[in-house]
Structure formats: structure tokens, C-alpha cells
Amino acid sequence: MNETTERLLNAYNKVLERIHHTIEDDNNTIKDAIIRAQEKALELKELTHEEVDKMSDCLLKDAEDAAEYLVTTEEELSGWLRFDLQLLETKMLTWLSDVADKTTVELNQLNVIAKASKK
């Protein structure tokens, strides 16, 4: 994994942690938590403005998709999470490919496919 990919994955994980803590601690909406996490990532210079925008768009879309799934299917969130895990992995790899070394991303995609086929 190259430095850019590693930096983005670390930043993504930190953003997710911040979102979780913001929702848990302050009873904020997901959108508010994403905005706060976005501002913190910029403040700490973990991500550029462009990276933050792309990441927040993905996170908001995923939150909307989860809410829609819950309403339309009346199933548990865990069902949607299992279904959406592969989509999320693919989306993150696509997002990372916009800013990461193309060769490294292709190798990571092959690795994900290989792991998925072993399951």
C-alpha cells in the first residue's frame, strides 16, 4: 500500500470514529456528525478540501441508502450492512483510485476479489 492510500484509509477511519463519537455523545444527526468530522479532518490537515468533499458525499449517500433500505424493507440494519459491505469496499477503492497510484489500487482490487472468492 502506498503512502497516499494509507493516509486516506487512516483519515477515513478517523472520520468514522469521530462520526460515531459525535452521534453517541451529543445525540446529533448523522449529517451534523459528518460535518463536524469533516471540519476536524480539515483543521488537523488530515485531508484536503477535495478529499473531504468526496468522503462526505460517500458517507451521506451511504446513510441515505441505509435509511431507505430500512424504510422500504422493514428489515434490520445488519442486513443492509452485510449487503452493502461489498459496495462500500468497491466505492472506497474507486474513491482512492482518484488520488492514489493506479498500480497499487489495481493490486488491492485483485486482493479484494481474491479474498471474496475464498469466502
Q: What is the pLDDT of residues 25-72, one digit of tens each?
A: 777 788 888 889 999 999 999 989 988 888 888 888 877 877 777 777
The domain in which residue 69 lies consists of: 3-118
Going by pLDDT thresholds of 50, 70 and 90, the confidence category of residue 11 is confident
Does position 17 have pLDDT exceeding 80, yes or no?
Answer: yes
Q: How many folded domains does the chain comprise?
A: 1
For the whole model, what pTM was predicted?
0.56
- Report DSSP state, residue 50: H
Q: pLDDT higher for 85 or 57?
A: 57
Q: Is 86 exposed, middle or buried (0-12, 13-18, 19+ CB in 10 A)?
A: exposed
Q: What is the reported pLDDT for 109?
A: 74
